[in-house]
Structure 1
Amino acid sequence: MFKLTAGQLNDRAHAVSLLEKTDLTDINVIANRAYGTHEIRTHIKENGGHYTIPPKANAKQPWKADWWLYKERHLIECYFNKLKHFRHIATRFDKLAESFLAFVQVATIFLLTK
């Protein structure tokens, strides 16, 4: 599921609205430290999910994170790296957000069928 946001906007502002569209029952959400807000973690727990989000270094009440499972996040990083091999996406040729998102979806289909 994709949600395209403005480049200057923090992605975490839309995280809960995106998670609301997903059935989180017995799902483990793996995310980086930026998504470790109380609101996001609470939403995941209340909807029957689990999270693997490391706490920020300055967290007042740090929680435990499964670092071995967190390392699986590299799969997402590799996906975005492959997407950026498409020059059209890396340089953001499209002026309209809908066109850009459509090309990202086409590139994703191409990568999945490769």
Structure 2
Amino acid sequence: MRRYELTDAEWQALEPLLPASRMGRPRADDRRILNGIVWKFRAGVAWRDVPERYGPWASLHTRFRRWAADGTFTAMLQAAQARADAAGDIDWLVAVDSTIVRAHQHAAGARKGGTRRRPLGRSRGGLTSKIHLACDGRGRPLALLVTGGNINDCTRLMQLVQAIRVPRLGAGRPRVRPDHLIGDKGYSSKAIRAWLRRRGIAHTIPERADQIRNRTRRGRRGGRPPVFDKHIYKRRNVVERCFNRLKQWRGIATRYEKTAESYQAAVTLASLLMWL
């Protein structure tokens, strides 16, 4: 096994999750192709620089784009999560957060609109993207979104929580609701707290200093402070550790992909291997 390649155990878990080829000539070896895709994003190189032992770079890129477009990587991630849930291996104390990713100059230039949208935010540091992530209590990704770097965290929380969808191996609806949700002050708003209460999701989110001052200034009309458990909040660091593991992939720590679809597929692939 070479550097960055799948182990035998990882391949045995991944092979049944890959889509079958039903028509046309037999496709190139799936393990070799997947090893080349993983190597590309782990090393953070251009497609043309992937070693020749993985086959033509155009074949790797075509297969990656096909699997990104048809949702293969997302389906594989959900299948791995379903296996873990059936074994009782998921801690449903969910932590949410986001991280900024610098975008390389090669990430710019994609056609705007349609399926080739490119959520890039412009700031003093240049072009950036943001990964919004929800992970379980053991630091493994449950759901993720990719937006421009200038998008506020609280505006995507509802969409992020709704993206949590862990299928059942047998009969039954997918698991979509955390037992408890932990977020930092960036998610502190009345609208978010009310939405979580309506869905029956307990949460631990600290108040911002300005919100505390405004509530105190209004006296009784300000209402009661939200419940905050500092011991539960200490477990929020699992999402930070999850980001650290994801950013060990150089192709994720810096965004080189032009489209959000491709970049999110790369993050999904890295998340899948964390579950394995």
Scaled by the length of structure 2, the TM-score of the pair is 0.38
Q: Aligned-pair RMSD on alpha carbons?
A: 1.7
Structure 1 residue 46: Cα displacement: 1.1
2:249 matched to which residue of 1? 86
Q: Which runs of 5+ in 1 are unaligned?
A: none
Instruction: Give the residue type in structure 2 aligned to 1:100.
Output: Y
Q: Which runs of 5+ in 2 are unaligned?
A: 1-142, 165-175, 216-224
1-structure distance, mates of 2:195, 2:158: 7
State yes or no: 1:71 paired with 2:234.
yes
Q: Please identify the structure whose Cα radius of gyration is greater.
A: 2
2:192 matched to which residue of 1? 40
Q: Which deviations, in whole Å up to 9, do the C-alpha atoms of 1:11-42 show, x marking residues without a partner?
A: 21121233345544x72110000101100000
Instruction: Give the residue type in structure 2 aligned to 1:107.
Output: A
% of aligned pairs identical? 32
Residues 74 and 106 of structure 1: is their aligned pair in 2 closer, same or farther, counting only changes over 3 Å?
same
Asked whether the 8 Å contact 1:5–1:11 carries over to 2, the reply is no
Q: Which moved more, 1:15-24 or 1:44-53?
A: 15-24
Q: Greater share of strand residues, 1 or 2? A: 2
1-structure distance, mates of 2:181, 2:267: 22
Task: Count how many residue pairs are aligned between Structure 1 and Structure 2.
Answer: 112
Structure 2 residue aligned with 1:55, among 186, 202, 207?
207
Q: Which moved more, 1:81-90 or 1:6-15?
A: 6-15
Scaled by the length of structure 1, the TM-score of the pair is 0.87
Structure 2 residue aligned with 1:19, among 161, 165, 169?
161
Residues 17 and 91 of structure 1: is their aligned pair in 2 closer, same or farther, counting only changes over 3 Å?
closer
